[in-house]
């Protein structure tokens, strides 16, 4: 695990609303190292998802900077942001958000097709990743023919297929029963160990958060706690 | 080209909407193709019933002159113009025809049979007797079928022709023609020398009729003749109502049918809007996976374009099939200029233009819903469950 930060967030602020203003993020500073397996926790409305959307370049901040591999993503054009999302970021949401008109294999192929990989090559890679998440025998099934846990595994395969350096999970197990939830967590853990990708998970589940290597606690848009292996990383 | 992959899958998944959208456009295009085939048939029929039966260019005497005196030379000069296929000098004047107790005022035309046939194909119209006989015996005449009926004459009968300042003559009927025009009742044709004798003039004519190989070039050729010092006019000048009729029919037809296609395309726009609403989360997810806004737009514009193209091709097939199947439209009565039946004429160029027009229209129609899709905010689009 290298010590160079893959993500550097400096004084990040996000204000919503034009009449009544809501400060969803209030001067957040955060360094995340390559290969970290971390979680962001906090009460509802604390800004967890807002922060995740900023890291995922799905939204733009009101002020502050986000450096991804040293590049300021807040200054990118739509095309560059899209390319960065495609190449460097993988998303797993609470709900799988698979494309309903495509089968499991096609869903996993799509990020590859977007990045310009040939269809035959994409098929090969997608098969391998689906095998890895344990769905080798469900490739031709559409989302409505799969269980919640299976769909979430397809969504994970899709998030990982382009070998992104950062995988973002917004309540990735929030919709699943505890058994599926545990197996999804184990899967993410395994993938993190094998591929050295950075995993950032937002969760309500304190138990699950406790199992990650680093836990960030947000309250009212501010980082109030930053623990690595149970010890405080820095003075807040 | 993952955009096309996604667009096609969207269309095949929304099968019912796709079928209805294609049908709507298809029916509109079918109507347009069918009606265009009828319009082209009508135009062709109109031309062959009128323009192809009239002189394309008419040359008149110079100003202040009653006759063209040196018509031999002028006729030769006109024949030398590129594109001229027939030239006929004509001497015409008024006459009163009398047979037994019946009489009728007519225009008598003195012609050279071969020259006149090269311009007006008169031999095609003959129903009894022959034009040729005009040159065999002098003081003979060919009359229209309606005139023959009015005067109650048959081949072999002799008509008394007279007029103030004309030399009265007895003209033997040697032929009867039917051109299907009102002239059948008012025009009698005789040889040039007979006409000269009757009208008491020397070797002169008062008009020269010209036929050209391409009727659209009539105007240009008439200008060339003008330049020779004789006033000439093309058929469009002498019969402005023909062009007027065709233009009017053509324009109102195109406007109404164009509107129908636009309405059908609105159907596609609303289907697409529904698709964009339905697929909001999906669009957000595509953005998260790295699809740029331009490509989101492209996906939905493609969907609209594909629907339009399918509808256009279906419509052209149906419309052309229907037109060819029907063959012609029979009014059962004369609509104008002797037209009772309109043949359907399907032209490849019309089919291509209609397909392109419909395809482009649908591409344009798709832009609005597509741009709405591309402007979605991915965070809001994905939302939270």
DSSP string for B89-143? EEEEEEEEEEETTEEEEEEEEEE-HHHHHHHH-GGGGEEEE-STHHHHSSSEEEE
Partner-chain contact A82 B379, CB within 8 Å: no
What band does B367 get if pLDDT is binned at 50, 70 and 90? very high
Partner-chain contact B291 A101, CB within 8 Å: no
Any CB–CB contact under 8 A between B4 and chain A? no
Tell me: pLDDT of A231 over 60: yes
Tell me: pLDDT of B133 over 60: yes
pLDDT for res B385: 44
pLDDT tens digit string along B301-322? 999 999 999 999 999 999 999 8
User: What is the ipTM for the molecules in this complex?
Assistant: 0.90
Interface with chain B: mutation pick from A16, A113, A116, A172, highest number of B CBs within 10 Å: A113
Tell me: pLDDT of B333 over 70: no
Partner-chain contact B285 A111, CB within 8 Å: no
d(CA A55, CA B100): 111
Residue A88, helix vs strand vs coil: helix
Tell me: pLDDT of B334 over 70: no
Helix H, strand E, coil C: the string for A175-186 is CCCHHHHHHHHH
Using CA coordinates, name the residue in chain A closest to B12: A101
* Closest C-alpha among B143, B115, B113, B138 to residue B128: B143
Residue B85, helix vs strand vs coil: strand
Q: What share of chain A has pLDDT > 90, as a percent?
A: 61
Any CB–CB contact under 8 A between A76 and chain B? no
Taking residues B58-72, report their average pLDDT.
Answer: 89
B254 contacts: CB under 8 Å, gap ≥ 6: none
pLDDT for res A223: 92
pLDDT tens digit string along A97-123? 999 999 999 999 999 999 999 999 999
- β-strand partners of B91: B110
Any CB–CB contact under 8 A between B9 and chain A? yes
Q: What share of chain B has pLDDT > 70, as a percent?
A: 97
Residue B276, helix vs strand vs coil: helix
Using CA coordinates, name the residue in chain B closest to A56: B288
Host H or E run for residue B162: strand B158-162
pLDDT tens digit string along A135-191? 889 999 999 999 988 999 999 999 999 999 999 999 888 877 888 888 888 888 988
Taking residues B226-242, report their average pLDDT.
Answer: 85
Looking at beta carbons, which residues of chain B come within 8 Å of A59?
377-379
Q: What share of chain B has pLDDT > 90, as a percent?
A: 42
Taking residues A29-55, report their average pLDDT.
Answer: 91
**Least confident span in A75-84, A158-167, B8-17, B330-339:** B330-339
pLDDT for res B250: 73
d(CA A26, CA A31): 16
- For B277, the token pair is 């609403």
Tell me: pLDDT of A1 over 60: no
Taking residues B280-304, report their average pLDDT.
Answer: 93
Any CB–CB contact under 8 A between A158 and chain B? yes
pLDDT for res B147: 93
pLDDT tens digit string along B257-277? 788 878 878 878 888 888 888
Partner-chain contact B282 A79, CB within 8 Å: no
Any CB–CB contact under 8 A between B5 and chain A? yes
Between positions 98 and 117 of A, the ones with CB within 8 A of B are: 99-102, 110-111, 113-115
Give the length of chain B.
385
Tell me: pLDDT of B158 over 90: yes
Partner-chain contact B385 A175, CB within 8 Å: yes
pLDDT for res B340: 67
Q: How far is A51 from chain B (nearest CA, A)?
A: 12
Count CB atoms within 10 A of the CB of residue B375: 10
Q: Which of the listed ranges A99-113, A188-202, B113-127, B130-144 does the model predict with the highest average pLDDT?
A: A99-113
Looking at beta carbons, which residues of chain A come within 8 Å of B378?
58-59
Residue A153 backbone zone (phi > 0: left; psi -120 to 50: alpha; other: beta): alpha
Instruction: Report the DSSP pairing between strands B328-330 and B341-343.
Output: antiparallel
Q: Within 13 A of B127's CA, how many CA atoms are on the CB side?
A: 12
What band does B335 get if pLDDT is binned at 50, 70 and 90? low
Residue B264, CA distances (Å) to A89, B21, B23, B315 in order:
42, 8, 9, 12
Residue A170, CA distances (Å) to A51, B223, B320 in order:
10, 82, 57
A-to-B residue pairs, Cβ atoms closer than 8 angstroms: 75
Interface with chain A: mutation pick from B12, B280, B285, highest number of A CBs within 10 Å: B285
DSSP for A16-62?
E-SSS-EEEEEEEEEEEETT-EEEEE-STTSSHHHHHHHHTTSS--S
Q: How far is A236 from chain B (nearest CA, A)?
A: 29
pLDDT tens digit string along B30-54? 988 888 888 888 888 777 777 877 8
Of the candidates B10, B379, B385, the beta carbon closest to that of A101 is on: B10
Partner-chain contact A101 B9, CB within 8 Å: yes
Taking residues B337-353, report their average pLDDT.
Answer: 80
Host H or E run for residue B102: strand B102-111
Looking at beta carbons, which residues of chain B come within 8 Å of A48?
none
pLDDT for res A3: 62
Any CB–CB contact under 8 A between A121 and chain B? no
Partner-chain contact A114 B291, CB within 8 Å: yes
Between positions 283 and 302 of B, the ones with CB within 8 A of A are: 284-295
Give yes or no for a contact between B122 and B54, defined as CB atoms under 8 angstroms apart: no
Tell me: pLDDT of A236 over 70: no
- For A9, the token pair is 């967030």
* Closest C-alpha among A176, A58, A234 to residue B285: A58
Partner-chain contact A97 B290, CB within 8 Å: no
Any CB–CB contact under 8 A between B116 and chain A? no
Of the candidates A59, A94, A111, the beta carbon closest to that of B290 is on: A111
d(CA B152, CA B157): 10
């Amino acid at each position: 695990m290298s010590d160079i930060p893959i993500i550097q967030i400096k004084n990040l602020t996000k204000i919503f609303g034009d009449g009544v203003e809501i400060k969803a993020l209030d001067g957040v500073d955060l360094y995340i190292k390559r290969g970290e397996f971390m979680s962001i926790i906090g009460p509802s409305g604390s800004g967890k998802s807002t922060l995740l959307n900023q890291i995922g370049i799905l939204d733009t901040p009101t002020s502050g900077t986000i450096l991804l591999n040293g590049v300021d993503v807040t200054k990118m054009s739509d095309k560059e942001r899209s390319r960065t999302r495609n190449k460097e970021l993988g998303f797993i949401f609470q709900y799988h958000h698979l494309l309903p008109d495509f089968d499991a294999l096609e869903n996993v192929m799509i990020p590859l097709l977007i990045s310009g990989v040939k269809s035959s090559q994409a098929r090969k890679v997608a098969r391998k990743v689906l095998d890895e998440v344990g769905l080798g025998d469900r490739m031709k099934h559409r989302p409505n023919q799969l269980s919640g846990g299976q769909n979430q595994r397809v969504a994970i395969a899709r998030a990982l297929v382009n070998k992104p350096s950062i995988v973002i999970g917004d309540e990735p197990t929030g919709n699943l029963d505890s058994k599926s939830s545990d197996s999804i967590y184990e899967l993410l853990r395994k993938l993190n160990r094998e591929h050295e990708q950075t995993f950032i998970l937002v969760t309500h589940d304190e138990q699950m958060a406790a199992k990650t290597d680093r836990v960030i606690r947000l309250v009212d848009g501010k980082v109030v706690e930053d623990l690595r292996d149970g010890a405080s990383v820095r003075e807040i | 080209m993952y955009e096309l992959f996604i667009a096609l899958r969207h269309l095949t998944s929304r099968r019912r909407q796709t079928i209805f959208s294609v049908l709507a456009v298809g029916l509109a295009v079918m109507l347009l193709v069918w009606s265009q085939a009828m319009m082209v048939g009508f135009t062709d029929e109109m031309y062959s019933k009128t323009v192809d039966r009239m002189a394309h260019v008419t040359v008149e005497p110079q100003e202040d002159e009653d006759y063209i005196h040196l018509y031999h030379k002028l006729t030769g000069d006109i024949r030398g113009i590129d594109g001229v296929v027939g030239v006929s000098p004509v001497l015409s004047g008024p006459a009163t025809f009398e047979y037994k107790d019946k009489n009728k005022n007519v225009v008598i035309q003195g012609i050279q049979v071969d020259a006149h046939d090269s311009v007006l194909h008169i031999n095609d119209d003959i129903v009894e007797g022959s034009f040729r006989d005009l040159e065999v015996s002098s003081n003979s005449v060919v009359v229209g079928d309606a005139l023959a009926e009015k005067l109650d004459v048959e081949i072999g009968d002799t008509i008394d022709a007279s007029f103030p300042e004309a030399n009265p003559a007895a003209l033997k009927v040697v032929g009867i023609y039917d051109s299907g025009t009102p002239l059948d009742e008012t025009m009698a044709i005789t040889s040039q020398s007979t006409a000269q004798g009757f009208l008491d003039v020397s070797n002169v004519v008062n008009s020269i009729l010209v036929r050209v190989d391409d009727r659209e070039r009539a105007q240009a050729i008439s200008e060339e003749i003008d330049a020779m010092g004789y006033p000439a006019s093309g058929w469009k000048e002498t019969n402005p109502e023909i062009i007027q009729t065709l233009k009017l029919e053509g324009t109102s037809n195109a406007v109404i049918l164009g509107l129908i296609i636009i309405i059908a395309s609105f159907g596609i726009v609303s289907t697409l809007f529904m698709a964009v609403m339905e697929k909001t989360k999906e669009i957000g997810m595509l953005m998260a996976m790295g699809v740029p806004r331009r490509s989101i737009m492209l996906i939905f514009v493609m969907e609209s374009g594909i629907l339009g193209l399918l509808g256009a091709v279906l419509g052209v097939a149906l419309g052309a099939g229907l037109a060819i199947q029907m063959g012609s439209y029979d009014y059962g009565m004369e609509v104008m200029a002797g037209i009772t039946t309109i043949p359907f004429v399907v032209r490849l160029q019309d089919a291509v233009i209609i397909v392109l027009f419909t395809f482009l229209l649908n591409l344009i129609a798709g832009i609005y819903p597509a741009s709405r899709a591309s402007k979605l905010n991915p965070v809001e689009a994905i939302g939270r469950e």
